[in-house]
Amino acid sequence: MWRGNRPPMRAASAYSALPTAGFSPRAPRRLTAGLGASWGYTGESTVGGGGWGNGPGGTAPCPYPTLLVRAIGKGQIVPQAILFDLDETLTDRARSIFQYAERFRCDFADRLESTAVSTIADAIRRADVRGYGPHEEILSDFSQRLPWRTIPNVSHLCRHWDTCFPLSIAAREGLEETLSTLHALGIRLGIVTNGEVQFQEPKIRQLSIGRYLSTVVISEAVHVRKPDPRIFAHALAEVSCPALHTWFVGDDPINDVLGAASVGLRPIWLTGVQPWPPEHPAPTWQIAALGELVTMAQRANNATSRISIRGAL
């Protein structure tokens, strides 16, 4: 299972053994209009911890509830945790495919006709459905687009992809700087990703970001996939943080944005990867680059500091 550096990480186990620290469903609490209306919220949240107008844990009265609720409605509460999708949110798939193509040409040089790396990368992109298609079908389609001397069988290509593509992963621009800054602000960071443990863990190691992560939740390990609310609940338990004070960043409109919103996290859509489905209202919070998260967190921190000062007066 996943081994992180600092802060300590807990590998995800079977969903039946989910930890409960920091996440305990409570009686529904009324949501303030403006925070979730555009996401189709019904006005209630079943995620516990830090309820509206309450102090930490939802038990002690808030000394300045009006200011706090207004800040929440404007999205100005500094996050205690930020959770991320992995593929195409923290990674650059186009660069990763190109790097894999370089290795592929080298490893299959004796079987391929003379072929440019760009031709191999283009064949992968044409066959690939952003990683969502059936594994064997994608690689079979890919192989048929290349000029072979001797065509390898699909199982050979599958083994090569499973082993070498995670080692070819390239980070999205600004990844290291963004995580380093957010971590220095005291924000707990984590990853929630669909996929197999043996395929996703090497990608994270290749990115060299383990020292910033408090948790990594992989769908295979917890037997539930995004956008199922349970995988987000698991991640909240892992970082011991209520949904109200947690952001979720991802590129997939359904799995990441609407999935996170359904359990009360602030969903932040990373644009430029997938189109937004027109049948759903456009998301309130959007970024075009990871570095924008730092600005958002710093603004929220400044706004919260002003609220604290005004509340003490």
Q: Tell me the DSSP string of 102-169.
A: HHHHHHTTTTBPS--HHHHHHHHHHH-STT-S-HHHHHHHHHHTS-BSSPPPHHHHHHHHHHHTGGG-
Using the 3D structure, point to which of 168, 187, 214 is the last residue of a domain.
168
Task: Look at residue 102 and tell me if it is in a domain.
Answer: yes
- Closest by alpha carbon to 54, among 197, 244, 182? 244
68 and 204 co-located in one domain: yes
pLDDT at residue 301, rounded to an integer: 72
42 and 163 co-located in one domain: no
Using the 3D structure, point to which of 168, 192, 222 is the last residue of a domain.
168
Task: Look at residue 2 and tell me if it is in a domain.
Answer: no
144 and 194 co-located in one domain: no
Mean pLDDT of 194-200: 96
Is 269 buried (19+), middle (13-18) or exposed (0-12) by CB count in 10 A?
buried
Q: Tell me the per-residue pLDDT of 86-110, one tens digit each, with 9 for 90 and over.
A: 999 999 999 999 999 999 999 999 9
Q: Which of 17-26, 88-97, 296-305 has the lowest mean pLDDT?
A: 17-26
Domain extent at residue 100: 93-168
pLDDT at residue 65, rounded to an integer: 40
How far is residue 145's CA from residue 117's CA, in Å, rounded to a whole number? 13
300 and 179 co-located in one domain: yes
pLDDT at residue 78, rounded to an integer: 78
pLDDT at residue 76, rounded to an integer: 56
231 and 303 co-located in one domain: yes
Mean pLDDT of 171-192: 97
Q: How many domains does the chain have?
A: 2
Pair 85, 252: CB distance under 8 Å: yes
Task: Look at residue 300 and tell me if it is in a domain.
Answer: yes
Cα 175 to Cα 12, 45, 61, 291: the distances in Å are: 23, 32, 38, 8
287 and 299 co-located in one domain: yes
Task: Look at residue 164 and tell me if it is in a domain.
Answer: yes
Question: Which 8-state DSSP code applies to residue 270?
Answer: E
Higher pLDDT, 71 or 231: 231
Task: Look at residue 4 and tell me if it is in a domain.
Answer: no
Q: Which of 1-10, 71-80, 231-240, 297-306 has the lowest mean pLDDT?
A: 1-10
pLDDT at residue 8, rounded to an integer: 39
Is 261 buried (19+), middle (13-18) or exposed (0-12) by CB count in 10 A?
buried
Strand partners, 30: 44
CATH number at residue 49: 3.40.50.1000
Average model confidence (pLDDT) for the chain? 79
pLDDT at 193 over 80: yes
Is 126 buried (19+), middle (13-18) or exposed (0-12) by CB count in 10 A?
exposed
148 and 293 co-located in one domain: no
110 and 152 co-located in one domain: yes
pLDDT at 247 over 90: yes
Pair 278, 255: CB distance under 8 Å: no
Q: If residue 98 lies in a helix (H) or strand (E), which one and from where to where?
A: helix 93-107
Q: Which of 73-87, 174-188, 264-278, 288-302 has the lowest mean pLDDT?
A: 73-87
Using the 3D structure, point to which of 168, 201, 218 is the last residue of a domain.
168
Global pTM value: 0.75
pLDDT at 307 over 80: no
Pairing of strands 266-270, 286-287: parallel
pLDDT at 187 over 90: yes
58 and 102 co-located in one domain: no
- Closest by alpha carbon to 246, among 269, 271, 267? 267
- Tracing tokens 């019904």 back to the chain, one arrives at 42
pLDDT at residue 35, rounded to an integer: 28
Token couple for 214: 């408090």
Token couple for 54: 């309450």
Is 72 buried (19+), middle (13-18) or exposed (0-12) by CB count in 10 A?
buried
- Rounded to 5 degrees, φ, ψ at 226 are -60, 140
133 and 201 co-located in one domain: no
77 and 219 co-located in one domain: yes
240 and 307 co-located in one domain: yes
